[in-house]
Structure 1
């Protein structure tokens, strides 16, 4: 029995909308994992509602969820994660989209066990921006096609054409085959991991040598570990088998530090 079961039965709980991966009810999307980590770390009762990609827009519109972003032409973009929080007001629950907005809301509304320790919010925000915009970028040509191929068939079919919003899935037709091109792509990934390890190693002597801030996990660690879990879920042999041993096993140690917050409820 999960540690939240009795709480769920007694009162309304937060609902996290997620998209299943290779197996039913398997969480894999990095942005959604970030929110799941926060919910688990803060020990907030919640439950997951699973929505396949092709059903996301219709489901979120029916909820009255705000779009996560807008295109240059002004059209709304609906993506996960989304949370519905009825715990404050069951009649008019709070409905939020966009990973950063949700993280800020959870930290402000449930300040116990903070993921932004005092004085760290600005630096952590910049760090997470770097992870999203630079660190993860070399992974996309490798991981997006692999992820596509491991999704349920109905979801794959949705991405072969255009979505209801008119946006095709940004994947190549096939994952990179074994050979020099794939090894070169992984080398570009390793360069980003090496750089990040150098930066984090500056904490040696001031912390435990694993997490970004001293001795306790924070939002940055969850953002990093979310990417590690994506790789582990979708490319366990070609991806995670490589990365877990890079930089003296730092990334496997980080994953272990986050292990207690990986429940899928």
Structure 2
């Protein structure tokens, strides 16, 4: 029987999954019903983890240097490490075809393009939310995050926040128009696919970093006729930490 280890980034709250990127992989594993355990790696230790285990990085920085990121999944049955949530989902669909597909009907290429388009649409989110992340991180990761992510050190003034929040809302509405032309909750019908898990992880991240009782989350939960709150409620059941 296959066993899996998901490598995730810890927070100040023990056993709390918080990263939108690692949540996509966590959602995928739980949706497929694949049993796994979680191991936590602080930000400064990720590069050594890659190098020690011979893991191939899948992202690069603006200067062309390797960007060592989580999630990473270890699949014991195939004795392999896979980095990046989209690559993890692709591997699991192919290696375990009897589990529910997150890229159904050969839709992986379309989903990857959709993911790029969604990231462009939500671009304002980084300036708005990255400054809120460090408070959730342990000391070592907090220092690393502040050093390597300049936008986390810049707090926008109130007028700029309002402008960027309006841009973010417009971006979410654009995504809603792409993904639910007939009013459905999921992109491809009655079951979630990777695109839905991507957006669910993002919305959870907003809710967590802003706070459940924050004005920001209360506002977002009403956008597009409550679509994003409904989507989160549909997929957050797959966020279990084990």
Unaligned runs of 5+ in 1: 1-10, 162-167
Q: Does 1:243 align with 2:220?
A: yes
Q: Contact 1:13/1:85 (CA < 8 Å) preserved in 2?
A: yes
Residue 76 of structure 1: aligned partner: 66
Q: Which has the higher contact order (CA 8 A, sep 6+)?
A: 2
Q: Contact 2:44/2:141 (CA < 8 Å) preserved in 1?
A: yes
Q: Does 1:137 align with 2:123?
A: yes
Going from structure 1 to structure 2, the CA distance change for 1:139 and 1:34 (only over 3 Å counts) comes to same
SS of aligned partner of 1:115: coil
Write the mapping of 1:199-218 to structure 2, written as runs, cut at 5 A.
199-204=178-183, 209-218=184-193
Q: Give the number of the structure whose alpha-carbon radius of gyration is greater.
A: 1
The aligned length equals 239
Name segments (4+ residues, structure 1) moved above 4 Å: 71-74
Match of 2:151 among 148, 171, 177: 171
Given the two structures, how large is their TM-score scaled by the length of structure 2? Answer: 0.90
Match of 2:16 among 23, 26, 38: 26
Q: Distance in 2 between matches of 1:245 and 1:22?
A: 29
SS of aligned partner of 1:35: helix
- Root mean square deviation, CA, Å: 2.0
Unaligned runs of 5+ in 2: none
Residue 195 of structure 1: aligned partner: 174
Residue 230 of structure 1: aligned partner: 205
Q: Contact 2:133/2:152 (CA < 8 Å) preserved in 1?
A: no
Q: Contact 1:48/1:264 (CA < 8 Å) preserved in 2?
A: yes
Q: Does 1:98 align with 2:84?
A: yes
1:135-183 CA distance string (max 9 Å, x none): 231101011111133322332223444xxxxxx2232424335x32211
Given the two structures, how large is their TM-score scaled by the length of structure 1? Answer: 0.83
Residue 51 of structure 2: aligned partner: 61
